[in-house]
Amino acid sequence: MRTMNNEQLTIDNGQLKRKLNINIIHYPLSIINLIFTGFFILLFLVNSVPVNAQVPDRTKPPALGPTPSLKVNALQKFTLSNGLQVVVYEKKEVPIIQLNLVVKAGSVNESSDKLGLAGMTANMMDEGAAGKTSLELSDEIDYLGADVGANGGLHNSSVTLRSTVSKFDAALKLFSDILLHPDFPASELERLKKQYVTSLFQGFDQPRVIAAAATSSLVYGKEHQYGRTSAGNEKTITSFTVEDLKNFHSMYYRPNNSFLVVVGDVDAKEIVAKLETALGGWQKGDSKPAVIAKPKQVDGRTIYLIDKPEAAQSVIRVCRVGVDRMSQDYFPILVMNTILGGSFTSRLNSNLREKNGYAYGANSGFSMRPLPGPFMAASDVQTDKTDKALQEFMNELNGISKPISDEELIKAKNYIALGYPDNFSSVGSIAYQIGEMIDYGLPENYFNEYIGKVMAVKKDDVRRVAKKYIDTDDLAIIIVGDKAKVEKGLKETKIGKIVNLVPTDVLGPMPKL
């Protein structure tokens, strides 16, 4: 591949593994026409040659045609008799239906002696339900060619279904069994515990896994919910009992603590009637929300060097506490990060990859959550360029607070706004965006105003949020690499004091297998 996908903004709401950058809109993109005409005259000059002329003019890039309008269907909202909120989006081009049931509980709701419980509860839901065994459920789901599964995230858990229209009724029955009547068989729990602990063990092989664990714990501290590893550790995982899983499920998997997004080839009224039958028996309950302390910013600049002897590359993660999803600065941050490290032509990628060739790619992103998640600038760089690469990271992170050019600003805004219709190409991406909207209680007109808000961002806004959120005095710099080869050079950069660590410092003791 020429490039790995850049992730710009990550929204951690645990409903889907897929991550998207931008959101949907409900009206034709006429506003872009107005705003963009000026720009394209500037940059491209208007090409007056008609489309069917036979002689191409290569002296300048051809002008863009009129901005196409995007037709987006209305969101249809329903409430089942048990209080479950259902949002339906009809998309009939391909006979596929996607259901995302989002439960508002995840690893932030775990007590510290039961880390990993949200994930284990979710993963155990299809290991036996409504009297069917794990193998029977799996056989039926696979036979339908459907995807039915559950996943535990940081703030949310999810149960999802994806199937063709012709198999949907049968798949919905299985989805309902798994969601409402998981059996949590003890033998399956013992099996999954061994599998989990083995995965923890394998994490020691992977520099990126080590770096991810370090990012959480060194930015937030191991006591904070954002600093703990949601995978749990050997001690907590081996302590899980069937009771623990049942309690977590009965406490949080409730219709009044969840919502359901339906996207695909459906008729809204028909699907809601089916859902009422399939899920109507699900009872309300009282779920305790998690109490999460406001994260503290990292103090000073520290290089945490985690030794990985013989590594061919150093995994660099430059981190600090970022911003929450509800921030008024969301759009300026989106544009600022696109310029810094959120697209292929961003400054970080242009510098580390195109200009210097130190890496295959470099990017940055804000992980936005109900409370401020981490900001991270990232690259895997060749070992002998680790110090030089870190210098370039610092140059770019400092540079983004200086005035930017018109051209850079317009390119970034257009990239976000004009690329926006692509988010409507699949039922999965539409379901994700609707989920985010509901999860964060974004206003009804949020999608309508999205493009306008992107286009309204000014150079001063970018500079202001860069100064506010990319303050390079306070950074946790995580480097997983070959200490013997990189420490001396890093010291000479004088970028920060060096703290030497080994993988067990961040992953915990190596499991005894």
Kindly identify the residues of this chain, within the stretch 329-368, that bind other proteins according to CB under 8 A.
343-345, 350, 353-360
Element (H, E) at 157: strand 157-164
Cβ neighbors of 469 (< 8 A, separation 6 or more) are: 322, 323, 329, 333, 336, 366, 375
Q: What is the DSSP letter of 108?
A: G
96 binds other proteins (CB under 8 A): yes
Q: 275 to 294, contacts with other proteins by CB under 8 A?
A: none
Ordered DSSP codes for 6-72? P--EEE--SS-S---S----SS-THHHHHHHHHHHHHHH----S-TT-SS--TTSPPPP-PPPP---
46 binds other proteins (CB under 8 A): no
Strand, helix or coil for residue 182: strand
> Which residue of 38, 79, 81, 145 would you call a contact of other proteins, by CB under 8 A?
145
Distances (CA, A) of 392 to 77, 301, 364: 49, 16, 13
Q: 25 to 44, contacts with other proteins by CB under 8 A?
A: 39, 43
Q: How far is the CB of 511 from other proteins (least distance, A)?
A: 8
Identity of residue 389: A
Cβ neighbors of 41 (< 8 A, separation 6 or more) are: none
> Using CA atoms, how far apart are residues 366 and 379, in angstroms rounded to an integer?
15
> Which residue of 18, 30, 143, 502 would you call a contact of other proteins, by CB under 8 A?
143
503 binds other proteins (CB under 8 A): no
Q: 164 to 203, contacts with other proteins by CB under 8 A?
A: 164, 166, 191, 194-195, 198-199, 201-202
Phi, psi of 156 (to 5 degrees): -130, 160
Q: Which is nearer to other proteins, 170 or 292 (CB)?
A: 170
Q: How far is the CB of 236 from other proteins (least distance, A)?
A: 19
Q: How far is the CB of 396 from other proteins (least distance, A)?
A: 16
Q: 402 to 441, contacts with other proteins by CB under 8 A?
A: 410-411, 414-422, 424-427
Q: 312 to 331, contacts with other proteins by CB under 8 A?
A: 312-313
> Using CA atoms, how far apart are residues 251 and 287, in angstroms rounded to an integer?
5
61 binds other proteins (CB under 8 A): yes
Q: Which is nearer to other proteins, 205 or 223 (CB)?
A: 205
| Geometric angle at alpha carbon 359, from 356 and 363, rounded to 5° | 100
Q: For other proteins, how many residues bind (rule: CB under 8 A)?
A: 86
> Using CA atoms, how far apart are residues 378 and 258, in angstroms rounded to an integer?
34
Q: How far is the CB of 209 from other proteins (least distance, A)?
A: 10
Q: How far is the CB of 329 from other proteins (least distance, A)?
A: 23
Q: Which is nearer to other proteins, 202 or 395 (CB)?
A: 202
135 binds other proteins (CB under 8 A): yes
